[in-house]
Amino acid sequence: MGSVKPQILRHNFLKEITDHFSGERELGRGTFGVVYKGVLEDGQQIAVKVLKYKEGVDAEKFNRELTNLTTVKHPNIVQLVGFCNETERVPVEHNGNHVIASVMHMALCFEYMRNGSLSKHLSDDYEAFGWDKRYRVIKGICEGLKHLHMRQSPIYHLDLKPANILLDENMEPKIADFGLSWLHGEQGSDMIISDDVGTRGYVPPEYIDHKQISDKFDIFSLGIIILKIINGPAVYSRTGGMESDKYIEHVCNKWRERMNVGPGNKSLINKTCHQVKSCTEIALRCAAEDHIARPDIGYIVDKLNEVDKYQNHQSPYIEEVRPRTVKMIYFILYFIFDIQCASLMYVDTIFYS
């Protein structure tokens, strides 16, 4: 399983290592299927993604897209280690008669991340999830998304959320559940699809209104994720109706309180606040209502690199870059199965000096 080249795995083998796809082995559900934990004979664990059947998807198309997935290799993207693509003929009852039907089994197997998903680590607890870890996670997610978006054949995730960001033993983030949008249609620079994709709270307005998809779909989702990493999962309940510059100031002040360190650590506080401020500004731009106003992932990674470069040469947080145009941020809350999330976050266009 540790080989670089993904292995072909039989459906019966996957059933065996997942205890027949039992509920106890289920790790999560998403737009494209269900993920189970598979345990091999040697104790090694893998994540088995059983794909939902989609009309029009055949073995040939699966193999074509699989070839594309096998070329995706990046430290911040979960590695594909195996796959299943087989058709089984089984007896079924149809209109009172017993007939033989063809059932297609499709699954993708990925390396298993022992620290689980980012959603399990989002917290207001500074001690458990300090800023250095959060900043590293933010940068890692952005680097992984850049690799997907800036390939010769770009891959749009379409379901980017904390549950699909996995953390390895070193808390290094890895994007999971990627490269499956072909189950809904061919990707283009600006496509329209009829199927529902994404997760409520991370889906941009242009998709809700017009089913429109581009790379800016993922950028919107990224903005929401960054805000939750910075502020914790319940940020929305505390910051309704706040001007953007006031919001950024509010976030920085919260982090000063969280750090709760003495005067001797002023340099550390300044460094943290500069990073928090920069990441919050980026997140607000990513979550802009107008998809044209959202930056692309290359710009985002460049801005984060500038933050690091700036701090290596001088004391941070000396300059304060304020928006030329200050607009209002509105949050709409939804409660789904007792889980609080933001269904949509409208942010008017913000331009920075």
Q: Which residues are marked as active site?
A: 159
Bind-site residues for ATP: 49
For the chain, domains (ranges, CATH) are: 7-111 (3.30.200.20), 118-347 (1.10.510.10)
pLDDT digits 0-9 by tens, 209-236: 988 999 999 999 999 999 999 998 876 5
Residues at the binding site are 49
With beta carbons less than 8 A apart as the criterion, state whether 37 and 28 touch.
no
**What are the two backbone dihedrals, phi and then psi, of residue 72, each rounded to the nearest 5 degrees?**
-85, 105
pTM reported for the whole predicted model: 0.80
pLDDT in tens, 137-184: 999 999 999 999 999 888 999 999 999 999 999 999 999 988 666 554
3-state per-residue secondary structure call for 301-328: HHHHHHHHHHHHHCCCCCCCCCECCCCE
Instruction: Give me the pLDDT at residue 350, please.
Output: 34
**Degrees (nearest 5) of the Cα angle 58, 60, 63?**
110
